Amino acid sequence: MTANARLAAQPLIGTAPSRACAVCGQQSWREVGTAQDYEYETCSNMWNFRSCRECGHVQMDPLPAPEALPTIYPEHYYSYQMEKAIHPVARWAKHRLDRAKFRWITGGRPVTSYLDVGCGDGRYLRMMIGQGADPARVHGVELDERAVQAARAGGLNVLQRRIEDAQEFEPGSFDLITLFHVIEHVARPDEVVSRLHSLLRVGGLLALETPNFDCLDAQVSGKRFWGGYHTPRHWHLFTSASLRQLLIARGFTIERQRFQTGHAFLLWTLHHWLKYGKEKKKLAEWCHPLNNLPLLALATSFDMARILLGRKTSAVLVVARKSA
């Protein structure tokens, strides 16, 4: 059976309509692409992506119905088992890059209270504790039960719920809140950002990393195979401009921004094009970002070179401060 035939044989899942633009509230759209679940083949649905004519924000429409979430996030979803899914050398390199990223986010200043939204098994929580943060003031929220259990088994403070529903946290509780590749997964990013604003102390920092639709990668492959779509799990795709607009509208001041390596998106784009566009399954598996460490390193180096040259990549990191 061909790859496309196997994908077509998967079940259709329930859907729900998308709403007005989550950034500016307008409802004037242009279609930019369609895609399927090329990574996990959980369903046969075709998903549409549309761009707001006013601010450029991209939303998927329709969205998976709430009851379909366990289907599109299967047990072997990579972020639930990062330690197993990623090669040890890649984990070592990622850890070094993460430490440098946090130094850039905080400006080297100590963090006394920290919240990671979508914390997985708690790797960033462990890193912050290892850097001297009080374990009692380091918290995470995560939806996956297995990841939460793993984090708690390691002695971490992790709640299993959406941040919008986490009433245990008092307003003004945190110096630093991070969302690394989370905001694109939520139905209402505007509501999430407003909630995070309330949880930060005045002067506290929000670090938000997400795919960047305003990049050459998306322009070339966005009609169908762009790896940043991560269909049907990425519901909102920002440009750096629309992300800043969302944050400023909800009381934040932008401190700084930089583009990040989107190496996995580059390889997923190649994988999807080869497997479903050209039916070259063996060659596609060679491009799988979890299977080919040398190619992953090459893609990382390529994006690092683009960043040094001032070019946009397929991921952006924005640090915003809660204004007085």
Contact status, residue 9 vs residue 37, Cβ threshold 8 Å = no
| Residue 13: CB atoms within 10 Å | 18
pTM of the entire predicted model:
0.92
pLDDT of residue 64: 97
pLDDT of residue 103: 92
pLDDT of residue 82: 58
Measured torsion, CA atoms of residues 319, 127, 291, 186, in degrees rounded to the nearest 10:
-50
pLDDT of residue 96: 77
**Number of domains present in the structure of the chain:** 1
pLDDT of residue 85: 57
pLDDT of residue 1: 83
pLDDT of residue 97: 77
pLDDT of residue 23: 97
Segments of the chain scoring below 70 in pLDDT: 79-93
Which CATH number goes with the domain that contains 19?
3.40.50.150
Please give the residue range of the domain that contains residue 160: 3-322
